[in-house]
Amino acid sequence: MLPSETFSNLLRGEAPLLALAPMQDVTTLEFMRVIDHYGGPEIYWTEYFRVHGDSRPEKWILDSITKNPTGKPVVAQLIGNDIPAMVRTAKLLQKFPVAAIDLNLGCPAPIVYRKCAGGGLLRDPEKIDAILSALREVVHVPFTVKTRIGFESPGEFAALLELFARHAIDLLTIHGRTVTQMYRPGVRYDLIAQAARQLPCPVLLNGNVFSAPQAKQLLVETGVRGLMIGRGAIRNPWLFEQIRTALRGEKVIFPTGRAVRAYIQELWDNEITPGIKESAQVQRMKKFMNFIGEGVASGFLHDIRRVTTTADFWRVCGQFLDHDRPMTLEPIDNGQAPLALPAAF
């Protein structure tokens, strides 16, 4: 079965869908392999392909589709605003085993939104209208959109929903914050619930999902088709399996400190590029440790951010994780505060 058919079947099914959120520089082929080892989601998303006049799909992102080891559908995400280039790229990507083509309307990085791409497009509904029309015409696999609830104000959301409802998109993922809000507190799950009631297409909820009981509650209260999880899954790769366990009404099992250390080791082993300098390897791991650390302890986060050598990296991990106590891996400040984020996101 083609990945796009598997994806369509999943959308039509009954069970709540779980997806790994697209994360630039994180959701690589290697990371998907690691996450899948812990059960993983039903659907993966690539980080965004940057689309402009003379762009070509980035090879390493294409690899996460063509060489994907998980056997699960992978959605290809595009960011840009040049309609002929978006059409050309969407046509090209459909020659590969993509589950769907997804349009990014949420990236809050100023360098992106100032060019009126990603979240910046939310200021220009007419342009979104034109992009959706053009892409819908050439996308023959499912066509999906990932949006925020507005650029500056949640008051923009109602008009956006009308716009999305006018186009036959197959799925809308909603990160329940505005673009200018970045990652600050106050995810508007109520507006996501409104979208789920109002739109003809299925809706995925996104934003600060960090535990199985909370995920279960959000699914029940908002009536969405499923959840897309980003940082919560880096912190806790068991989360997807824990959510499925909770939905079956069974007792959720938490990993021990040693199991978390083994997860970090697995990341390390998968993220090693042969010949990479020690300091660069440690630096690469910090991309993940910034999030994992939030689920361990503030002292751990403090110390791991400062290490520069392999020996120190593992010494700090051993100091905080060499134990068999169960760990919830919930964010230290409950996930509503602005957590450690790279400048772009």
Ligand X SMILES: Cc1cc2nc3c(=O)[nH]c(=O)nc-3n(C[C@H](O)[C@H](O)[C@H](O)COP(=O)(O)O)c2cc1C
> Residue numbers of the site for ligand X (CB under 6 A)?
21-24, 26, 47-48, 77, 104, 106-107, 146, 175, 206-209, 229-232, 341-342, 345
Collect all residues with Cβ–Cβ distance below 8 Å to 194 and sequence separation of at least 6.
157, 161
Contact 38, 70 (CB under 8 A): no
Select which of 107, 116, 201, 317 is catalytic. Answer: 107
- Smallest distance from the beta carbon of 110 to ligand X, in angstroms? 15
We find the least distance from the C-beta atom of residue 323 to ligand X, in angstroms, to be 27
Residues in the chain: 345
CB of 205 to ligand X, least distance (A): 10
CA distance 19 to 212: 14
Residue carrying structure tokens 């300091």: 279
Q: In the complex with ligand X, which residue's Cβ is closer, 175 or 257?
A: 175
CB under 8 A, 24+ apart: contacts of 120-127: 120/151, 120/179, 121/81, 122/147, 122/148, 122/150, 122/151, 122/156, 122/160, 122/179, 123/151, 125/159, 125/160, 125/163, 127/81
Q: Which is nearer to ligand X, 26 or 196 (CB)?
A: 26
For residue 230, the minimal CB distance to ligand X (Å) is: 3
User: What single letter denotes the amino acid at residue 259?
Assistant: A
Nearest distance from C-beta of residue 312 to ligand X, angstroms: 24
Strand partners, 146: 104, 173
Task: Report the candidate in 296, 303, 300 with the shortest Cα–Cα distance to residue 332.
Answer: 296
Number of CB atoms found within 10 A of residue 279's CB: 12
Instruction: Tell me the residue number closest to ligand X, measured at CB.
Output: 230
* Minimum CB–partner distance for residue 322 and ligand X (Å): 28
Residue 128 to residues 82, 105, 125, 210, 254, Cα–Cα distance (Å): 11, 9, 5, 31, 43
Q: Confirm whether 107 is a catalytic residue.
A: yes
Q: Which is nearer to ligand X, 254 or 345 (CB)?
A: 345
Choose between 75 and 257: whose C-beta lies nearer to ligand X: 75
What's the min distance (Å) between Cβ of 192 and ligand X?
12
3-state secondary structure of 230: coil
Q: Which is nearer to ligand X, 47 or 170 (CB)?
A: 47
CB closer to ligand X, 219 vs 257: 219
In the chain, what is the straight-line distance between the N-terminal and C-terminal CA atoms, in Å? 35
Q: Which is nearer to ligand X, 196 or 257 (CB)?
A: 196
Is 182 in contact with 108 (CB distance < 8 Å)?
yes
Q: Which residues of 46-81 are buried (b: 16+ CB within 10 A; e: fewer)?
A: bbbbbbeeebebeeebbebbeebebebbbbbbbbbb
Q: Which residues are catalytic?
A: 107
